[in-house]
Amino acid sequence: MGRFSQVLRDRGYRITVQREVILDEVEALPGHVSPNDVHARVAARFPQVNVTTVYRTLELLEHEGLVSHMHFHDGARWHRADEGLHQHLVCRQCGLEEQVELDEMQPLARELLSRHGFHADLAHFAIVGVCQECVRAAAVPVG
Amino acid sequence: MGRFSQVLRDRGYRITVQREVILDEVEALPGHVSPNDVHARVAARFPQVNVTTVYRTLELLEHEGLVSHMHFHDGARWHRADEGLHQHLVCRQCGLEEQVELDEMQPLARELLSRHGFHADLAHFAIVGVCQECVRAAAVPVG
DNA sequence: GTGTATGCAAAGCATTTGCACCTCC
DNA sequence: GGAGGTGCAAATGCTTTGCATACAC
């Protein structure tokens, strides 16, 4: 039984087969995935699991602080709560994704806290923009 | 005829009654609104305009650089391109929205550019977090 | 006149909900 | 046995698309 299953059981939730498979997969998540991704991975081991259950389980896990979600340009993605420790840069032209350590965001976070009393969760939304390559490409237009 | 209508006509687009009304409303937009908001405002003056047309017109305006959209916690909002010059802080607990001058974000923007060559559009996504009031409230839990 | 814009209805997609049934503890 | 969990189907909300019609230029 995985750690997530154990935690949920300890907190008084029932562990069903579906939950166990979903928890296992979520615990082994490679980075950031959509509910659909989770469902696909789960379905490979336990076909009859419904997407609805995936949504509900993700919600439960989030409520219990084991996973979090964040927003990319093209929708929400989930990740283990202990792995959300970076910011994402997404190029709006080529779609390239780059990770930035949250440390780099700390000065801003401190600023927002001291000036506005606001405790920012900077990683919750990706940062869009244009990457180096695309700027370079645009600087020398076709023709 | 509003400035937006004029610009579009100059660029070879046809000006229909629908477009003119939509353009007028968008030009007079108070801050950040959803396509639905625009539709509601437009419909007050010209009831038979379809939401579809609002979507298509916003897309056209964005393509022509007259408006932009950005993402809040609860969906996309449009604003005049010349009025997107601030970042938004949104409290995930009480929903409070605060504006921050983009100047305050410049250090981070410069950092991302110099370290990652990334031209960040920081205002495209709001920043979520917890506001002062809610932190205060949470610090002294009920009971 | 002709190509562009519009309205309408329908399709998409991601997510949520209601409800009967099932099963973990 | 009973609360809690699940599957299914349908509803929702937002946005897009196809197509026949209308109208700006």
Distance separating alpha carbons of residues B41 and B28, to the nearest angstrom: 11
CATH code, residues A3-81 = 1.10.10.10
Residues of chain B with CATH 1.10.10.10: 3-81
- State which residue of chain A sits closest to B107, comparing Cα positions: A108
Asked if B77 and B38 count as a contact pair (C-beta separation under 8 A), the reply is no
| B98/A contact by beta carbon, under 8 A | yes
Q: What is the mean pLDDT of residues B28-57?
A: 91
Is pLDDT at B140 greater than 80 in this prediction?
no
Instruction: Render pLDDT for A13-43 as a digit per residue (tens, 0 to 9).
Output: 999 999 999 989 988 877 889 999 999 999 9
What secondary structure does DSSP assign to B92-112, as a single string? TTT--EEEEEGGGGHHHHHHH
Instruction: Render pLDDT for A65-119 as a digit per residue (tens, 0 to 9).
Output: 999 999 887 888 999 988 867 899 999 888 888 999 999 999 999 999 999 999 9
> For the ranges A114-128, A129-143, B3-17, B59-73, which has the lowest average pLDDT?
A129-143
B14 touches strand D (CB under 7 A): yes
Residues of chain A with CATH 3.30.1490.190: 86-138
Distance separating alpha carbons of residues B84 and A99, to the nearest angstrom: 25
Distance separating alpha carbons of residues A106 and B3, to the nearest angstrom: 42
* Nearest partner of B80 among B66, B63, B61, judged by Cα: B66
Mutate to test the interface with B, among A62, A98, A125 (most CBs of B within 10 A): A125
pLDDT of residue A143: 45
Through-space separation of residue B67 CA and nucleotide D14 C1' in angstroms:
20
- State which residue of chain B sits closest to A124, comparing Cα positions: B128
CATH code, residues B86-138 = 3.30.1490.190
pTM for this predicted structure: 0.85
| B111 contacts in chain A (CB < 8 Å) | 104, 107
A39 touches strand D (CB under 7 A): no
